[in-house]
Amino acid sequence: MGAELLKIWSTLSARVLVGVVVVGGGVLLVLAATASALLGRVVDLDRRYPGLRLTDVDHPRFDEVLALLDVADPGYQRSLVDLVSTGPFGTAGSVGLTTTCALLVGVLVAAGDLRHGGVALTALAVPDRLRIVAHKVGAVAVVLGSAGIVLAVLSAGTLALAVTGTSGAALAVTPLEVAGVWCRGIAVLVLLGVLGVGLGLLVRHLTVAVAAVLVAALVEPVVVVASTLLTGTVPPVVAALPLSASRLASRGTTIDADLGLGVGLAPGVALAALAAWVVVHLAAGAWRTQRGDLA
């Protein structure tokens, strides 16, 4: 596995993607922590000077949405330690930056190595192809797990910043709740990376695999929004799609639920659904690696 970790570290694109997971996720967490204070000031200006029309304060549900940014609310505080959705509005109706990059890290480790012939060279030293796959999975898990731990530390800082910087706010979540959100978030990042490995080994073409991830990132939110508009909720079969399941598994709730729309799956079920996607893709990718040509 050390050789696979070295490959990730020596590949610029892989380092960039991991950096985006950490830095991009950290920036989003900071923005989420300061969103309440910033929006509060904008709303005060809008109500003091109605002609500005900076926000839609006259909308019947505006105050309901604004309440989601109450720093004293436990749900808001949980959102600040969510490593995947990063904030109360998070990835509602869209796909998160961290989830997409985590997938791409796995794709790059698998399909990129096949493209440049690294797997064929590795197979000369390690003839057991399934062992090669296992090492790739382990390396991705270590890298993204470490990135998740860094994000967890950053999220602890953003939570402290939001609570201490808001008058009258106090910590409303228990350490056990925070640890649960962190553990699920780290698990989601690792599972997405391993899913990317399985996809890369199955497709075996870097450009096609990356395109598949980007198409999924564009199409899946459209499916979620369309199903919500048609049914008034998110059907379980839609919520079980990989990127949607990752969002639900991480924090367990979203703005959709807070506004009265069903979320489709409980966190544990969503995590199991994501794990099922990983098992299917990784098994298929390992089978093709075992039977196919590595050149």
- Tens of pLDDT along the chain (295 residues) come to 777 787 788 888 888 999 988 888 888 888 777 776 677 677 666 667 666 666 665 666 666 666 667 777 787 888 888 888 655 555 444 457 888 999 999 999 888 877 766 676 676 566 778 888 899 999 999 999 999 999 999 999 888 888 887 777 788 889 998 999 999 999 999 999 999 999 999 998 889 999 999 999 889 888 888 887 887 777 888 888 998 888 888 876 544 444 444 556 788 888 999 999 999 999 999 998 888 766 5
Q: For residue 46, with 0-12 CB atoms within 10 Å meaning exposed, 13-18 middle and 19 or more buried, which class applies?
A: middle
Residue type, 196: G
Predicted TM-score (pTM) of the model is 0.85
Q: For residue 63, with 0-12 CB atoms within 10 Å meaning exposed, 13-18 middle and 19 or more buried, which class applies?
A: exposed
- Report whether 39 contacts 69 (CB < 8 A): yes
CB atoms within 10 A of CB 278: 23
CA atoms of 129 and 290, how far apart (whole Å): 6
Tokens linked to 150: 């860094």
Q: Per residue in 129-142, is it b (16+ CB within 10 Å) or e — as a string?
A: beebbebbbebbbb
* Residue among 120, 116, 113, 295 at smallest CA distance from 197: 113
- Maximum pairwise Cα distance, the chain: 72
- Report whether 70 contacts 36 (CB < 8 A): yes
Terminal alpha carbon distance of the chain: 21
Question: 233 by DSSP, 3-state: which?
Answer: strand
* Residue among 244, 3, 276, 259 at smallest CA distance from 122: 3
